[in-house]
Homo-oligomer: A and B are copies of this chain.
């Protein structure tokens, strides 16, 4: 029987929420991944040491029994040096949301240049900056318009490690080559879907996410970067659970819930493109090198065996609900 082994899969962009949702979804990530970068966009956001420690404890409880390292982040604000020094041992970076662009980002930064002092501090203290890079323009242009901000950040703070989170455009892939301190995560769904899958036939709210999926040429550029094991690109699912009644609604929340299907679907995708030898780079090694992290030792066995994605995990409809996947994670 055909099997492959994956060492320490890492999800470098993950929404675990809090409360009951955290308790429900965290084990689904902790099962298949050796670690994940945990987003801080709770309500209120994780932007104090006290909230950070409370969230760390909650995530630790929710993932107890799994070999899983949660890499926490702080929600960007004008921190002072003492705050960042106190938080640094417990975080992998600080996450910046332009105000109002995505789920629970109302507390985000509205004037990026005004935050320059904090960027300087992060640079000096060696704390990475993770960015949801979208302007407030027309929905399809937001990422492209934000690339100038990345350019400014990378030039102004040459020793600041900057991660362009969940990139969706060919232009963002191109920008990676222009600055040594610029990196990126790519989701699973942006490797597969385009705007056509969301709105080309019937409208599918379960594929609605921010940034929104773009053109086929953009998807192809992202896929090429992933399949080639581009050294500055890491997998980050951006898995973001919403209850079904918040998705199939007049005002549908942005987010695709891919955590429980991500590893087998990535294996499937890389296998289809004869690129399985590059999957470890995309799914673990690049992140280890870029962030300088050593995740727990964890080997995932994936078998060529079909299974059907459940229509729901609890109240949440997963990516590819009901579809058959040809690879399955063998429970250790």
Q: Which residues of A are interface residues toward B (Cβ below 8 A)?
A: 138-140, 194-196, 198-200, 202-206, 208, 212, 215-216, 248-254, 317
Contact = CB atoms under 8 A, between A and B. Distances in A.
Contacts of A206: 250
Given A199-B198, A199-B212, A212-B199, A205 B252 contact: yes
A88 B254 CA distance: 49
A140 B195 contact: yes
A99 to B, nearest CB: 13
Assembly stoichiometry (copies):
2
B200 A254 contact: no
A196 B138 contact: yes
Nearest to A198: B199
Contacts of A196: 138-139
Nearest to A141: B215
A139 B199 contact: yes
Contact of A253 (B140, B202, B212): B202
Contacts of A248: 248-250
Contacts of A140: 140, 195, 215
A251 B203 contact: yes
Contact of A138 (B194, B212, B252): B194
Contacts of A253: 202
Contacts of A195: 138-140
Given A138-B215, A140-B195, A203-B208, 13 more contacts: A138-B194, A138-B216, A139-B196, A139-B199, A139-B200, A199-B199, A199-B208, A199-B212, A202-B251, A202-B254, A205-B205, A205-B252, A248-B249
Contacts of A200: 138-139
